[in-house]
Structure 1
């Protein structure tokens, strides 16, 4: 492309500081360096984690920053040494790049990279610099992706090529929401046919969990949300029933235990609040229930260990536990 090797000026949503509003700015996006790819973003989703980040809840996020991590785009240019990606390819930027050589990358049980976790500076590329500037200032990257911009630069190992016929405006959700929810069912919980499941939070991730439970053959799928406007979509995608905690004068976990004859086989927390995490845990069957924490939270979870010693299992699922294998 004609822009290859040149700085591109484009629009981006920049957050200049903690709790600051998005500011639509003209930024400069530098050409990709060795083993990097520059992408023209076509569509992006908005995740609750983006909101948590600009609230300053995570110390790893540096300001000013361009957030966003559910995106899809077309490769504009590539840096030296890039082998498997070419200009014109449709791609999804990946939150979890994998070097392919470290202990975690070689273990099919993991979907994180030990090398990147230990050696990379938050908000910067592998060489310790940023590809974004605005008003003469360095702008930090976010989760190896930064999709709230017309152009972004990511490492080659943080790119997944997709089919040329893919619908760009919806496939962006594979970058986080769908993969996280669906994978938590299939890979983490391993929901079995005929089981009973409850999903706390019916946003994008919660709806993906519902779809996963339906595909896995769950016999009863209970959606929980304080917003009843979400119930129709949840049922359309597979929920057998929905509960609004505000409709009861007792804890929702107690309601679920009573309605399921002792608790559910699988509980999924898709909100990111300690209160709903505990509610999900208490909703699971005391002898064999599995609870999967998916929502991202900056708060502390505290519970009596006896509720686990009876037989419950508490797990977490990072991006649906999809690994290299």
Structure 2
């Protein structure tokens, strides 16, 4: 396991450096994107236009030498435009399957909430089960498989809210935020002549990522830490300011992400600290505030932060 962690630190460091050469001044965002990749999860990047959502998704995709497909979500996009379609081959006189863009290691879904809920739902099976069923035939997707989707805030014109089932399949949601003035000035200098994405070369292979995922799976999560994850999620289900709490899938995603977070911190065991750091990005996007909370403009992120403050922290050495 020690050598595995050494290898993970080296490869993940290369990937992080490559992404940070494009996304300046956002180390926490880049780190979370890496955590989700190693947790075999999917990432939702939500923010206003123009702050680098697609740039982050493309930088992550280009830093690993694997198959990448981009889907621009639009109101007229059909489910078959994502999954693929069976077409009749005149020469062979039979139907043959033409795979859609979801058949890639990293799928970049741009402005996912501009498509209709029906089309968004085409991603449900592939995100959860790593497979696609078209006309009664099931096709297994190659690993690693990660959906990196960007969306604009729902109140923006021409957007549909993501269905609850769709949001629940994203391991974490992050907001890019505006760059600080120094990073923005540097961006004007660097991005002024050409896009830094053009200079980004892959620094790892799909096989490397598969190996790192196996290392992460071996990270120990004590019974006390697992119980703490359950306590945090249960608190969202009983909270008066939430009308929809987190699902059992959320608990699973929280523990998987904690394993990856621990491994990136060069530990072969998870701590309550890992869960605390990840609670907001992993849980908040799955929650629906009560009407009273909406009136008071209380965000789910604030509720999760309160829950982390309130739920007793276990001794990680127990179990």
The bucket for the TM-score relative to the shorter chain is under 0.3
Higher relative contact order (CA 8 A, sep 6+): 2
Q: Higher strand fraction: Structure 1 or Structure 2?
A: 1
TM-score normalised by structure 1 residue count:
0.26
Which structure shows the higher helix fraction?
2
